[in-house]
Amino acid sequence: MKNTDNKAYIISDAIISSLDFGSQKNMEALYAGKSGVKKIEDNSLYPHAFMGARIDDEKLNQCFSNISYLNQLPEDFEFTRFEKMAIVAMAGSYRTCEFPLHKKTLFILSTTKGNIDLLQDENIKKFGKERQMLWRTADVIKQFWGFENEAHVLSNACVSGVEAIALASQFLKAGLYDHAVVVGADMLSEFVVSGFMSFQSLSSKVCKPFDKDRDGLNLGEAAACVFMSTDKSYLDKKNEVVVVSGGASSNDSNHISGPSRTGDGQFFAISGALKEAGIKANEIDYVSAHGTATPYNDEMESKALTLAGLHNKPIHSLKAYFGHCLGAAGLVESVVVIRNLRDQRIIKSLGYKQNGLPLPLNIIEETKSWPLKNALKTASGFGGSNAAVIFSKIRKSTI
């Protein structure tokens, strides 16, 4: 199953986040420099106030009821909040371009904790025990749409989203499927907030990736979807096409909850992605880094990007806009990269003022027009996992 000449074209995408619903609206908010990170006072999430990025529930329910006509399950079937998030994001992509549901479509869900709120007693009563299982919630989403293939769940901590796109593109390039629908979702839950609090890794302000005063991350929730295909007939009339040109994953082999001290793990993922894309580091035009704003993660990334020879390329983190959306982060941020390639713009790294890294990076300080051909998206996570994916803009006349 060597890669064929097939290209994994990005056909449509969607984001729902604390900023807004829809890729276009999210991009407008990003270009305007808005942050979705706010003070959250909600006893059901945490006993004290904390900074986080939350999706508007009313809007979510409204959007979900608007798309209920697409539901292939019985009308009275009850969906969880997590499932609604994933489905609404997918519907955004579907409205732009209807993805096929047949045997040639691969469906992947990227998430870390899915329906984790169903561990609470009152929810177990309502939804049953099995629904907490990630394969089961993926199956519910599959059935909503009526995909013929089984759902596949990728759960590789915070790199899941980036890895899911890379993985789907591999299956397309190998010719095993013609289309892929990749959705990533994770939500704010008491489970996750209390866990990160116990790690003391949350900032009490809007986070400051790569800055010298960075002191932790903000949790966020979001869902995003990318529909890819090898079938050119799905491409719209525009002359510019974005493809997934390479991807890889790796492990630090260092510590389960602390990033590598050398950055070589992340470097291996970047090298693997470059190798598949058939380009050199100097052909990358900008990097959308992981940038959680914890002291050690950002330090590790400065080493990895320097090892890869990318430290002088424009680099940003989007965590101060969306918070850290865990299994959805890589998907949401990849959609932004795809849109940046189409718009030929780069977005400032919100929260950054002064270099706080042992090896300085070229952090983007102003949102501006910028010529882009190849863009790199990276991610790192607990368990020592890393992933990288490269998106490239190609001219339609060349394919």
Partner 1 sequence: MSTLKHVYLSNSSLFVNNKLVLRGENPIFAKFLKEVYLYNLSRYPKFYKMDALSKLAFVASEVLLKDYKHKHQAEEVGIILQNKSSTIIVDKKHQASISNREEYFPSPANFVYTLPNVMTGEICIRNGFKGENAVFIVPGFDAAFLMNYLQILFDNDKTKMMLGGFVDAGEDYYEAFMFIIDEQNYKEIQADQLYNLYKELKENAETS
User: What residue ranges bind partner 1 (CB under 8 A)?
Assistant: 1-3, 47, 112-113, 116, 119-121, 132-136, 138-139, 150, 152-157, 163, 167, 170-171, 174, 176, 190-191, 194-199, 248-257, 264-265, 268, 271-272, 275-276, 381-385
Residue entry with tokens 């979510």: 60
d(CA 339, CA 153): 25
d(CA 170, CA 252): 23
CB of 125 to partner 1, least distance (A): 14
Of 154 and 336, nearer to partner 1 (C-beta) is 154
Question: Is the CB of residue 362 less than 8 Å from the CB of residue 312?
Answer: yes
CB of 234 to partner 1, least distance (A): 23
Of 19 and 159, nearer to partner 1 (C-beta) is 159
The neighbouring-strand residues paired with 123 are none
Contacts of 190 (CB under 8 A, 6+ apart): 44, 45, 46, 117, 120
> What secondary structure does DSSP assign to 20-43, as a single string?
-BSHHHHHHHHHTT---EEEE--T
Of 173 and 313, nearer to partner 1 (C-beta) is 173
CB of 247 to partner 1, least distance (A): 9
CB of 86 to partner 1, least distance (A): 14
CB of 141 to partner 1, least distance (A): 13
Structure token digits, residue 104: 């040639």
Of 314 and 327, nearer to partner 1 (C-beta) is 327
d(CA 76, CA 384): 42
CB of 228 to partner 1, least distance (A): 15
How many of the other CB atoms lie within 10 Å of CB of 342?
A: 16
Nearest to 16 by CA among 33, 32, 36: 36
Contacts of 332 (CB under 8 A, 6+ apart): 15, 17, 161, 184, 222, 223, 224, 318, 322, 325
CB of 225 to partner 1, least distance (A): 19
**DSSP at 47:** S
Of 150 and 365, nearer to partner 1 (C-beta) is 150
CB of 105 to partner 1, least distance (A): 14
Structure token digits, residue 275: 């190798």
Nearest to 246 by CA among 283, 272, 228, 227: 272
CB of 137 to partner 1, least distance (A): 10
d(CA 281, CA 273): 10
Structure token digits, residue 343: 């718009």
d(CA 339, CA 175): 26
Of 26 and 137, nearer to partner 1 (C-beta) is 137
d(CA 166, CA 248): 7
CB of 279 to partner 1, least distance (A): 16
Per-residue burial over 115-142, b = 16 or more CB atoms within 10 Å of its CB, e = otherwise: bbbbeeeebeeebeeebbebebbbbbbb
Of 152 and 316, nearer to partner 1 (C-beta) is 152
Of 51 and 248, nearer to partner 1 (C-beta) is 248
Of 2 and 237, nearer to partner 1 (C-beta) is 2
d(CA 174, CA 195): 39
Contacts of 125 (CB under 8 A, 6+ apart): none
CB of 221 to partner 1, least distance (A): 17
Of 170 and 302, nearer to partner 1 (C-beta) is 170
Of 73 and 256, nearer to partner 1 (C-beta) is 256
